[in-house]
């Protein structure tokens, strides 16, 4: 999944926080990060993954009132 960010100055903090969970996250440009959830490769539920990631983003973003994050589905093969 890709996360589009409203404030690029928070990207590094977000990447570090997500990488402390069971996600692998990389900064793809100033306003976007890619998120890989390894457990999805083992028959994980993509809907549940999206819900959990959105919950994390909402909770994390509460510390930064100006922050907004928008989830996008990754492009398929």
Taking only the tens place, the pLDDT of each residue in 20-49 is 998 999 999 989 999 998 888 888 898 998
CA distances from 68 to 25, 41, 54, 77 (A): 17, 28, 11, 28
Q: Is the pLDDT of residue 75 over 70?
A: no
Residue 19 belongs to a domain: yes
Q: Say if residues 30 and 8 touch (Cβ distance below 8 Å).
A: yes
| pTM tops 0.85 | no
Residue 77 belongs to a domain: no
* 56, 58, 63, 64: CA torsion to nearest 10: 120
Q: How many domains does the chain have?
A: 1
CA distances from 1 to 14, 52, 74 (A): 15, 12, 5
| Residue ranges making up the domain that contains 11 | 2-72
DSSP lists the bridge partners of residue 66 as none
Residue 51 belongs to a domain: yes
């Amino acid at each position: 999944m890709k996360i589009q960010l409203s404030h690029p100055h928070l990207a590094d903090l977000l990447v570090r926080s997500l990488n402390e969970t069971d996600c692998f996250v990389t900064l793809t440009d100033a306003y976007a990060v890619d998120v890989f959830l390894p457990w999805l490769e083992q028959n994980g539920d993509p809907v549940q993954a999206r819900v959990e990631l959105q919950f994390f983003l909402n909770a994390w973003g509460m510390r930064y009132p100006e922050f907004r994050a928008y989830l996008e589905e990754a492009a398929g093969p």
